[in-house]
Structure 1
Amino acid sequence: HDEAIRLVLARVLAAPSFLYRLENPVAGTKSGSVSGIEQATRLSYFLWSSAPDKELMDLATAGKLADPAVLASQARRMLADPRASRLSAEFGLQWLHLYAFEKTDEKSPRHFPSFGALKGAMREETVLFLNDIVTRDRSILDLIDADYTYLNGDLAKHYGIPGVDGLAWRRVEGTRKHGRGGILTLAATLSQQSGASRTSPVLRGNWVSEVLLGEKLPKPPKNVPQLPEDESETAGLTVRQLVEKHAADPRCAVCHQRIDPIGYSLEGYDAIGRLRTRDLANRAIDTHAKLKDGTELDGLDGLRRLLTATRRDAFVRQFCRKLLGYALGRGTQLADEPLLDRMVKRLEANGYRIGEAVAEIVTSQPFREIRGRDVPSDN
């Protein structure tokens, strides 16, 4: 009997209906509405990464989720629920390229012996900060220009912020004067976009350009010499000087002119996200830079202004693109551009609050419909 039970359980646990969220397409070649239960499931896995709760299921079985106003109301309720922290962790960490951050073990123990013990705290700060944006329905511009973060004693010491002791996490206001606040200054993002023994203006600039602004950059050419890894052993040159020398290569110049100035503006942070004015060889750090179009960047403040003012439209649209792709479980397509337009306009009209972007998604046709079963395969 035990063997029979094991076989039955194995069959159940391996069944596609257990492993996947299956939906029944409508007949024909035209798209049609998903069922109430399917709509509830889409909404719940988008915002909570879990099955619908009783309230959502009751509305689904009563057929009320066909009403866009009910969907929007439920989305607001769910974003204010503690379970929305899963959206912060799942979407946020994927978007910022931090999903596997705790597995990072490439930092030099000689230069950065404290990094291993702080990785968990760095990740937790990221999730708590993103969750504050989600559950408090804050402006997505706060992602760049917030004047607060979440700290415990260990991370506060790492940042040089006084008055925070112990293991408990707390929301700390007024962090801008300490060079903190927003995703640009998180130790996790700064560490992830650095090397083992030095910073990387190239990685950091590329991350801002591609992840936050949605720019498409070509792959680097082959056979380009690598920069020295240890910034304390670079023949008297700073990392910035090494990169500038490297970028003089005509094969590299086009991309480096776009990304390097952005990376230079973050050189005031070392390879594990600590503030600094000098590098590992005690050479002065220069965070002033000029973009190809002549825009001046003066360190972190200049980069913040770039993203929240000069390039705000690009940042907002890229955030919408990534959130929509996460909600739909696929990359965005040309057909999604009108929906992205509506998301951007709705954010502009409502203080850029993240809940407005979510409401536009969950009431949209792509989120509420499924294509017909007789539509030819894309393959």
Structure 2
Amino acid sequence: RAADRVIELASLDNEPSSRKDRKYPDEEGKRYYAQLGEGWDAVSLKSPGHYRIKIRLSGLPAFTGRIPRVSLWHHQYKRSVVGMDISTTEDQPETILFEGLFNAGSYKILNNAQTKKHANGGVIRFRQGIIDAGQKLASLKGGFRSDKTKIVDEQGVPVVPTLLMDWVEVEGPITTEATRKKRFGILPNNEEDIEEISECLQRFAERALRRPVMDSEIERYIEFINHEKEAGVDFRSAYKSALSGILVSRNFFNIEEGSPNENRTHLNNFELASRLSYFLWSSMPDEQLFATARSGKLNDPKVLSKEIKRMIADPKIDRFLDSFPRQWLQLHRVGMFQPDPNIYPEYGPWLEESMILETMKYFSEMFHKNLSIREFIDSDWTMLNSKLATHYGLKKPNNSGFTRVKLKPESRRGGLLTHASILSLTSDGTRHRPVHRGAWLSEVILGHTPPPPPPNVDPLEPVKTNQPKTTIRSQLEAHTTDANCASCHSKIDPLGLAFENFDAIGRWRLRERVEAGTGENPLVDASGTLPDGKVFDGPEQFKKLLAGNDKKLAEAFIENLSAYALRRLMTVDDKPYIKKILETSASKDYQLKSILQSVAESELFRRR
């Protein structure tokens, strides 16, 4: 059924008609206002496809300076699919554009935020509604029921970030020239011409299976079509069923390398083309890569190097920049343990998304600037938006969205290890977890997976009400006096204890907040001694020590990148090839883009 649906959505028979519709709140000359978490149900797409969605709106910051974020919320999937920060005045609205592939369904233009709670446990009800376009928001003072927030304060300034929407315009589904080109030659014009039918089937099958297709493979589908016609099925339906049959074949689902009749150690040209395209583009080869494979020259080192450079320069490389850092850094774990709203009331969906985006955009910036991987650990810059700047206590960027920001030493940031995403994914919903932080760093950054803890280890107990407040570090030190525990903890714990100045959601602190117990919250201690005897006092000194061993960092990174490229874990047999890539990368100062090129050109990558 899924394959049939894909063929149907491809619209091989007829290009879907495109239309452009503009919708106003109630009528032209009106405005829709929406406070946090509220929105306008204004977009409904009957079919999936490529759409242009324009929205005319203003984004008014709250009195605190916090700006709103507009997003398209898909009701059926219950998530935001695209969004951006917006900050404009009422009398100078901006027209924004969201363009790309959208699923069918209904969408809300949402002022993206989490639900807030009153101190008494009741849910704050934010406001939305329609006003005249010429009416100032400042005129909406007071006069509302007590269970709803105000819209503006006594000075006429919004109490929370607020969106004012004038209209939305939806154009689509749009058929691009690139899509038309892909459809060309898939559906035969002459239903009686067996040669043309075979050519169209072969063209489709070679794209789907990503390799040359033998005549005997196509003959099976020709026979199927003939049997269907004899049973009374019209040609077009029978032909589309044959296309669906190709899409459910094992060769389509699997990236197959090698064959039972061959004994070879290296990939052939088509296998290499597929491995390259799924590594760098997360998709099948394009026509140029196919053409190079057909020429039999892709395994030539000079030709291969040229193709890799072309692919890295292609916009489709953004798929790698989205996929690899998520897997490598385990960003799927961010928000896995939702922070307790009573302890971290400022935490919400947009902050969580901003945390992840900082890390993603940081990786992308390093890639495009071809920076040394040392800057993964220690740098004087990061990628910030307004939301994250507020969270870090830093000056907000002048531009909306994410911007590269130079950091001052007192910012206490710089490098991936002080990103809120990394610091929160190694925490639980109430407190930081230094052992987990250390284990993550050991595995992901240093390439050494610590052994699992022995069974029946007692967890750290929360501080009791009648006990003096104490840090998790102090509890941990008392907990690891056993010699069997200490041998591992002496290697793992210092890596995590270096970041004791950061709480469970990545904020800087000098004292650790302890919910129970007597006395004041204790001061944190971020000092430690590494297994090699080097000492540090705080995260800055620790990062300097770590970044100084760039060869170790590069080796671990290359192993992670190679595992992603080859879709398997590295083994002891791969070590000589990893070492060769490491030597090549060292001559280029371990620059990120250069490492990627070296991995794709390597003997390891070209072997089965």
CA deviation map 1:311-358 (0-9, x unaligned): 433222111111111111111122211111111112221111123322
Aligned to 1:338: 576
Matched, 1:357 2:595: yes
SS of 2:395's equivalent? coil
Offset from partner CA, 1:235-271 (integer Å, 9 cap, x none)? 4111111111111123311111111122111011110
Matching of residue 267 in structure 1 with residue 505 in structure 2: no
Q: Distance in 2 between matches of 1:231 and 1:279?
A: 16
Structure 1, 143-152 or 17-26: larger mean CA deviation: 17-26
**Which of 333, 336, 343 lines up with 1:104 in the alignment?**
336
User: What are the residue-to-residue correspondences of 1:119-158 with 2, within 5 Å?
Assistant: 119-158=352-391
| Aligned with 1:18 (options 252, 276, 281) | 252
Q: Does 1:170 align with 2:170?
A: no
Determine the C-alpha separation between the residues in 2 that align with 1:198 and 1:102. Answer: 14
1:198 Cα deviation from its structure 2 partner = 1.0
| Greater Cα offset, 290-299 or 163-172 | 163-172
Amino acid corresponding to residue 91 of structure 1 in structure 2: F
Match of 1:31 among 244, 262, 265: 265
Mapped partners of 2:569, 2:334: distance in 1:
26
Over 3 Å counting, the alpha-carbon distance change for 1:299 and 1:146 in structure 2 is: same
**Shift of residue 154 of structure 1?**
0.5
Offset at 1:89?
A: 2.4
Return 220-229 or 2-11, whichever deviates more.
2-11
State the Cα distance separating 1:363 from its structure 2 match: 2.2
Alignment of 1:291-370 (within 5 A): 291-309=530-548, 311-370=549-608
Structure 1 match to 2:187: none
Could you tell me how far 1:53 is from its partner in structure 2? 2.8
Q: 2:421 aligns with which of 188, 201, 204?
A: 188
- Secondary structure (helix, strand or coil) at the match of 1:289 reads strand
**Aligned pair 1:83/2:322, yes or no?**
no
- The one-letter code of the counterpart of 1:19 is F
Which residue, out of 348, 352, 357, partners 1:116?
348
What CA distance in whole angstroms lies between the structure 2 residues aligned with 1:175 and 1:233?
Answer: 42
Unaligned runs of 5+ in 2: 1-232, 515-520
Q: Which has the higher helix share?
A: 1
Paired amino acid for 1:90: S
Query: Does the 8 Å CA contact 2:480/2:489 hold for their aligned counterparts?
Result: yes
Describe how 1:179-258 pairs up with structure 2 within 5 A: 179-228=412-461, 235-258=468-491
1:69-123 CA deviation, whole Å, 9 max, x = no partner? Answer: 222232233223332222222221111121x235524321111122232111111
Indicate yes or no: 2:283 matched with 1:47: no
Distance 1:229 1:340 in 2: 45
Deviates more, 1:88-97 or 1:182-191: 88-97
Shift of 1:138: 1.6
Question: How far did residue 216 of structure 1 move?
Answer: 3.8
* Identity in percent: 35
Distance 1:262 1:365, change over 3 A: closer
Q: Which stretch has the larger CA shift, 180-189 or 14-23? A: 14-23
Q: Is the 8 A contact 1:187 1:274 kept in 2?
A: yes
Match of 2:524 in 1: 285
- Does residue 64 of the first structure (1) align with residue 292 of the second (2)? no
Deviations 1:35-84 (A, max 9, x none): 2x322221111111122233323322333312212222322332233322
Q: Give the letter for the 1:68 counterpart.
A: P
State the alpha-carbon separation in 2 of the partners of residues 319 and 325 from structure 1: 10
TM-score where L is the length of structure 2: 0.56
Residues 198-207 or 359-368, more deviating: 359-368
Matched-pair contact (CA < 8 Å) for 1:47–1:86? yes
Q: Shift of residue 173 of structure 1? A: 2.0
Q: Aligned AA for 2:263?
A: T
| Distance in 1, Cα, partners of 2:455 & 2:358 | 37
Q: C-alpha separation between the residues in 1 aligned to 2:339 and 2:411?
A: 24
- Map of 1:377 onto structure 2: none
Provide closer, same or farther for how the CA distance between residues 12 and 113 of structure 1 changes in structure 2, counting only shifts above 3 A: farther
Larger deviation: 203-212 or 73-82? 73-82
CA contact (8 A) 2:418 2:506 kept: yes
Task: Tell which has more relative contact order, 1 or 2 (C-alpha 8 A, sep 6+).
Answer: 1
Gaps of 5+ in 1: 371-379
Q: 2: CA distance between counterparts of 1:230 and 1:9?
A: 64
Q: Which is richer in strand?
A: 2
CA distance 1:169–1:15, shift in 2 (3 Å): same
Structure 2 letter corresponding to 1:173: K
Cα distance in 1, alignment partners of residues 330 and 370 from structure 2: 23
Q: How many residues in Structure 1 have an aligned counterpart in Structure 2?
A: 367
Q: In the alignment, what sits opposite 2:6?
A: none
CA displacement, residues 252-308 of structure 1 (integer Å, 9 cap, x when unaligned): 111111111221110111100111111114321111112243211221122212221
Distance in 1 (alpha carbons) for counterparts of 2:408 and 2:280: 29
Q: TM-score, normalised on structure 1?
A: 0.88
Q: Which residue number in structure 1 is paired with residue 100 of structure 2?
A: none
SS of the equivalent of 2:348 reads helix
Separation in 1 of the partners of 2:494 and 2:337?
28
* Aligned residue type for 1:63: G
Tell me how far apart the structure 1 counterparts of residues 402 and 496 of structure 2 sit (CA, whole Å): 30
Letter in 1 for 2:542: L
In structure 2, C-alpha distance between the alignment counterparts of 1:77 and 1:216, rounded to whole Å: 35
CA distance in 2, matches of 1:38, 1:66: 10
